[in-house]
Structure 1
Amino acid sequence: MIDSILCNDIHSRLNPVRVSQVHFPKSTAEVAALIRDAASRGLQVSICGGRHAMGGQQFGEATVLLDCSGLKSLGGIDRERGIVEVGAGLMWPELIHGLHATQEGHSMVWTIRQKQTGADDLTLGGALASNIHGRGLRMKPFINDIEAFTLVNAAGEVLRCSRQENEELFRLAIGGYGCFGVVTSVALRLTHRIKVERIVEVTTLDRAPAEMGTRIAGGALYGDFQFAIDECSPDFLHRGVLSTYRSVEGDREMEEVRTLGADQWKELIRLAHTDRTRAFETYAKHYLGTDGSLYWSDTHQLAVYLCDYHEDLDCCLGTSTGTEMITELYVPRHTLTTFMMAAAEDLRPRGVPVIYGTIRWIRRDDESFLAWAREDYVCVIFNLHVEHDLREPAIAAFRSLIDLALSLGGTYFLTYHRWARRDQVERAYPQFREFLAAKERHDPDGRFQ
């Protein structure tokens, strides 16, 4: 246990909160005991894992913080059903490599279906709490990958939640941001590990949706469209790198793949802050050079994330403190071009740099209570630069993007910034009042904050 410590998220550094204590439980029984102890002392509890969430949901002022990254169990694989029980604190590389190790010698290997992109040291519990998604082109959000989970509720009781048992909590807790208890383990649905081929082209937004539709119909499993980010260029939010991954024969020989190392990523990040056209051209050239390369369906989803990259960048550039904040907007697929054209027009004059952006395809979630994928959407991700001493321009940009998505029948992801207006929250999530009522019913003392 650590007493009174300042916590913050890893990426944006925009959520500094001082908690009263930090505990690092390693078992469900320990989590339950800590919650019962907090309840006996009238203390509130907050929950974190990889500490990447940027919406403020993982830390609460003066709370008892449970850092669940120590819940690292990995059970045996049900090879008939393709299900494995994993600790909620297990991170994606640990899970993938653990699955490989336990199946050594098997010709058919079970592995993950999807994970978040951009960073790897994210916990399974956090993925469940946010109901994440990856680059799957025909996949629903993470709830579809979950068979069941173990939850410790506000009374310190241990519950098993599934589609058959404690079904309401199953729907509420997945995408419920820790409001209903601490998830300590997850029964995860797996898929077969296969070889995939990357197909890459540089194209434009007016062609990308139709081309992606053709590739999906042709069997593409993963993919996205990473767009140009220079607001001074006519290519802004219009030209991009379209990449997809399709399954190939298992006996095809895999050659060493060209990858970007840490130093190359540092240079790309520097260019994204100083010469965004060159950043895109450099990235596009690299990706085009990997066209036709073969990957494994699980490890191709892993990424390089440079912790504290902005400290080195600010020192190099001699700039004031700043970081990036992410937003995800979801719009009906037929409105994508309209949305992107309007977003480009809105962002150009604001002076808020787009450091990274991509478009993904997502299937409808018909299970979680606070579903963000109410229909088959396209997901547009913006990573915007935020000056810590002058946040208002970025806040206005984020709110404007949400308004634009809402005007087209879309929504946005609650996981990231906390700057949405109340009317935006209620319009994007008309069931939000019911969600809060369910929170009060299951946690009347507001134990989880």
Structure 2
Amino acid sequence: MAASLKLTTGKIILSGVFILLIILIGRPIVFLTYTYFADREHKKENLSGYSQDASNLNKTKVDTLIQLSSAGDSAVMQIVGLVKQSAATHKNISIAGAQHSMGGHTISANGIVLDMKHFNYMRLDTLNDVLLVGAGALWNQVIPYLDNYGKSVKIMQSNNSFSVGGSISVNCHGWQPNSPPIASSVRSFRLVKADGEIVTCSRTENQELFSLVLGGYGLFGVILDVRLEVTDNKIYSAKQYVIKSRDYIKEYDRLAATNPNIGLVYGRINVNSEHFMEEAILATYLTTADPVVRLKQENTFATFRRILFRASANSDYGKNLRWRIEKQAVKLMNDKKFSRNRLFSEGVETFQTTDTGYTDILHEYFIPKVRVSEFIEALRKELPGHKIDLLNITLRNVMKDEDTYMNYANEEVFGFVMLFNQKKDKAAEQEMQYLTQRLIDIALTLKGTYYLPYRLHASQEQLYRAYPKARKFFSLKRKYDPDMRFSNQFFKTYGQ
């Protein structure tokens, strides 16, 4: 009898364990499988006669789309002719690369869109580690080219989907620690001005234009090509840490700031509802002496990472599941090795939404190092009160920018890159505008600022507070382009 009771009890326990495993393992599998099948590619909208950017909220009727047919001297003459012709037609010119800005920075209503993507030649000066590159080249073209020479991009964004000309026009930064924005790696560039003249701009030649065009959003002319500093490709070893978000700067200083072997660093704060914004992952990549290997096709588990990410959209369960898995993945990532070029070789396509009813919207706020903890706490209190779907927050270190006129890094700052999943309707857009202005005010209170390539939701007063030289910037725009040959929605919102 006792043996039979023990057997029955054992069966009950095993059944309970089995049911528990189904609950713990079965639900995530079903949830992620559903996301996988729901996450299908949608047909792109026909944009004939219109232009659009990465926001998918700026579909605008334009007069003409000009696609350069080559990258040689004939294309240069085509651009010069177009600029001179616009004086007679009174059609504004906007300049487009990958069009990953989100506020109509590459669009002017009823104007001419100059598509630069085919203007993408490259020549490497191996003696001086300087790359001459056409402004239309995408980083996903540049990286494999440099990889052939054992070289790598010195400063760029965390994804490779953007154009070189676009990157310097927004003065992007990356996850290269202790580095200023990309402007610091620009030796010079050639520019077609509003009168059709081609000039070279550098720190010693046409210095004012140099500072205005870098981070100038295409308002001062057409960038033809750029001379960029490059660096050695290296092998990095990953070291990741789960920390308290309030301790981010303390841990950053201890683990990354003064370590001479640090090559790349970023942080990510949890956005799931369980202990919202209380934890963070600090990801560091340390240089090794391992021989560099050439880029090749590798399994990066991109499909799984995408499904896990997209499963967190509009789902508390998905966000909690994603954060738990990402924390566990820290152990798997530690001591894994990657080349610098491999880490730079992922596009935004890996994570961006394909749901035509929604769009992914970026914000970024630059906060002085000594105020980072205050900003984290302010976000933790502010964000839950808004009807928004926050998908991600990453942190990147940016040193003082000495080169650009519209400078967002007047000292060492940390960029808070925030990604939201937004419904494409009027109510969601109004809520996002309200949130944006609230977050800008918080950033300004902490002596920080915000990034300009995104939705044009800041008030004009906020723009002038965040960028005290903005009025002079727009005045200089009129000096160099009195007939407003170059324009976009950013300029029409704030500059006129």
Superposed CA offset, 1:389-432 (max 9, x none): 12221211111111100000000100111100111100000000
Change (3 A) 1:114 1:30: same
| CA distance in structure 2 between the aligned counterparts of 1:208 and 1:263, rounded to whole angstroms | 28
* 2:144 pairs with one of 90, 94, 97: 97
| CA distance in structure 2 between the aligned counterparts of 1:304 and 1:289, rounded to whole angstroms | 23
The answer to whether the Cα contact below 8 Å between 2:139 and 2:163 also exists between their aligned partners in 1 is yes
The letter of the residue matching 1:425 is: L
Q: RMSD value over aligned CA atoms? A: 2.1
Consecutive unaligned residues of structure 1, counting only runs of 5 or more, are: 104-108, 315-320
| CA distance in structure 1 between the aligned counterparts of 2:482 and 2:303, rounded to whole angstroms | 47
What is the percent sequence identity of the aligned residues? 24
Displacement after TM superposition at 1:386 (Å): 2.0
Displacement after TM superposition at 1:178 (Å): 0.3
Change (3 A) 1:240 1:170: same
TM-score by length of 2: 0.83
Q: Which of the two has higher C-alpha Rg?
A: 2
The aligned residue for residue 133 of structure 1 is 173
Alignment pair present for 1:443 and 2:486:
no
Identify the range of structure 1 (382-391 vs 241-250) with the bigger mean alpha-carbon deviation.
382-391
The letter of the residue matching 2:264 is: Y
The letter of the residue matching 1:354 is: L
Displacement after TM superposition at 1:4 (Å): 6.3
- Aligned residue pairs total 430
The answer to whether the Cα contact below 8 Å between 1:9 and 1:15 also exists between their aligned partners in 2 is yes
| CA distance in structure 2 between the aligned counterparts of 1:250 and 1:178, rounded to whole angstroms | 41
The letter of the residue matching 1:216 is: A
Displacement after TM superposition at 1:273 (Å): 2.9
The 3-state SS of whatever aligns with 1:397 is helix
The letter of the residue matching 2:219 is: C
The letter of the residue matching 1:40 is: A
The 3-state SS of whatever aligns with 1:190 is strand
Alignment pair present for 1:115 and 2:153:
no
The answer to whether the Cα contact below 8 Å between 1:258 and 1:290 also exists between their aligned partners in 2 is no
Displacement after TM superposition at 1:256 (Å): 10
The 3-state SS of whatever aligns with 1:207 is helix
| CA distance in structure 2 between the aligned counterparts of 1:190 and 1:361, rounded to whole angstroms | 20
Alignment pair present for 1:359 and 2:401:
no
The answer to whether the Cα contact below 8 Å between 2:91 and 2:112 also exists between their aligned partners in 1 is yes
| CA distance in structure 2 between the aligned counterparts of 1:208 and 1:288, rounded to whole angstroms | 19
| CA distance in structure 2 between the aligned counterparts of 1:217 and 1:257, rounded to whole angstroms | 32
The aligned residue for residue 63 of structure 1 is 111
TM-score by length of 1: 0.91
Displacement after TM superposition at 1:131 (Å): 0.3
* 1:409 pairs with one of 434, 443, 447: 447
* 2:290 pairs with one of 240, 243, 250: 250
The aligned residue for residue 317 of structure 1 is none
Query: 1:319-358, aligned counterparts within 5 Å?
Result: 321-358=357-394
Consecutive unaligned residues of structure 2, counting only runs of 5 or more, are: 1-45, 488-496
Displacement after TM superposition at 1:289 (Å): 1.2
* 2:336 pairs with one of 268, 279, 293: 293
Query: 1:39-438, aligned counterparts within 5 Å?
Result: 39-75=87-123, 77-101=124-148, 103=149, 109-117=150-158, 119-214=159-254, 215-219=256-260, 220-230=262-272, 232-234=273-275, 236-251=276-291, 259-274=300-315, 275-306=318-349, 309-312=352-355, 321-389=357-425, 390=427, 391-438=429-476
Change (3 A) 1:128 1:253: closer
The letter of the residue matching 1:89 is: G
The answer to whether the Cα contact below 8 Å between 1:227 and 1:357 also exists between their aligned partners in 2 is yes
Change (3 A) 1:310 1:78: closer
The letter of the residue matching 1:291 is: N
| CA distance in structure 2 between the aligned counterparts of 1:212 and 1:264, rounded to whole angstroms | 26
Displacement after TM superposition at 1:299 (Å): 2.5
The answer to whether the Cα contact below 8 Å between 1:138 and 1:221 also exists between their aligned partners in 2 is no
| CA distance in structure 2 between the aligned counterparts of 1:128 and 1:266, rounded to whole angstroms | 32
| CA distance in structure 2 between the aligned counterparts of 1:406 and 1:124, rounded to whole angstroms | 30
| CA distance in structure 2 between the aligned counterparts of 1:417 and 1:21, rounded to whole angstroms | 24
The aligned residue for residue 8 of structure 1 is 52
